[in-house]
Amino acid sequence: MAIFKPYKMFYRVTDITAEFLHNNGIKGLALDADNTLSEHHSQTAHDGVEQWLRDMEGAGIKLKMVSNARARRVVPFANKLGLTFTSTALKPLPFGFWRAAKSMGLKVKEIGAVGDQLFTDIMGANLAGVKPLLVTPIKEEDGASFKLRRRLEKPLIKRYKENG
């Protein structure tokens, strides 16, 4: 199903290069927080993320955190990383991505959405018209709803990997 299809898949957010972004017309990134930039609910960026953010900014890539988490989780983490943010983005609804594009001064087709979940990040990006970039979750979550979603995602991700 195309609505869940990523534009490109990466192992970690730090594997996304400025060269890839420039070659694909991506001038800005809407970044998920949990299991993309850090472990779920953590205020500490995953290894290499802070340097990667600086490298992206140095390459002229605009960055914004777009998270479904509440402000009390997102504000301190985004501030620590020096990122602007949208909290309670309600992904997979497209509004958070549209707001991100507008706040970065970019067209929707000029941004990529980076996240670890097909049913929120990737679906929302596709609905918004932005390029969805899927990363492998940093750490598996314990909650029943996460386990169910991951089980449902597994065959779709396998198919996308097999079909390039």
Contact between 122 and 132 (Cβ < 8 Å): yes
pLDDT grade, residue 1 (50/70/90)?
low
Task: Tell me the average pLDDT of the chain.
Answer: 92
Joined together, the tokens standing for residue 119 give: 């049913």
Residue 120, pLDDT > 90, answer yes
Q: What would the pLDDT profile of 60-74 be if each residue is shown by its tens digit?
A: 999 999 999 999 999
- For the residues of 20-88, what is the DSSP string, one character each? HHHHTT--EEEE--BTTTBSTT-SSBPTTHHHHHHHHHHTT-EEEEE-SS-HHHHHHHHHHHT-EEE-S
Contact between 24 and 131 (Cβ < 8 Å): yes
At 5, which helix (H) or strand (E)?
A: none
3: exposed, middle or buried (C-beta count within 10 Å: 0-12, 13-18, 19+)?
Answer: middle
Q: What would the pLDDT profile of 83-118 be if each residue is shown by its tens digit?
A: 999 999 999 999 999 999 999 999 999 999 999 999
Q: What would the pLDDT profile of 11-58 be if each residue is shown by its tens digit?
A: 999 999 999 999 999 999 999 999 999 998 889 999 999 999 999 999
